[in-house]
Amino acid sequence: MCGVPVDLGRVDLPAYVLATMEDHIVPWRSAYRTTGLFSGDVRFVLGASGHIAGVINPAAKNKRSYWLSNERCEDPAAWLAGAVEKPGSWWNDWIAWLEPWTEDKLGARNQLGSNLYPPGEPAPGRYVKQRAS
């Protein structure tokens, strides 16, 4: 980056890598290969459906499914062959995965903005409604 080589193998942080089975923009086998780039703990999760529906599928509806395996394989097909399909949304898995790294939990805000950063206008905002010229 900016003329300096980047070595992702030196990134020693936990990573949650999500891909979706029918994604036509980021094929899951390509996304899976990112698991070999980092040296930290990597959890790869394969969600059902495509690029958008597979990601925004809300946890509360508990639809679809996802695949998990603790095996780290070079071959995505080998990973899938050893993975277990879990019912419901991958979001619940992500929330559970985050738990060890949470410290003080904050409640949801009941008021937007602050003295330093007052709230803007109600959604969706003027800029969304403005026609492009």
pLDDT computed for residue 126 by the predictor = 83
Instruction: Return averaged pLDDT per consecutive 10 residues of the chain, 133 residues in all.
Output: 90 92 94 92 92 80 88 93 94 92 83 89 82 80
pLDDT computed for residue 50 by the predictor = 86
pLDDT computed for residue 87 by the predictor = 92
pLDDT computed for residue 103 by the predictor = 83
**How big is the chain by its Cα radius of gyration, in Å?**
19
| Token code pair at residue 12 | 């020693």
Task: Give strand pairing partners of 16.
Answer: 43
For residue 56, the surrounding DSSP H or E stretch is helix 53-56
| Token code pair at residue 70 | 């603790």
pLDDT computed for residue 15 by the predictor = 93
Helix then strand then coil, % of the chain, to nearest 5: 30, 15, 55
The residues near 36 (Cβ < 8 Å, ≥ 6 apart) are 72, 74
Q: Are 18 and 49 in contact, with CB atoms under 8 Å apart?
A: no
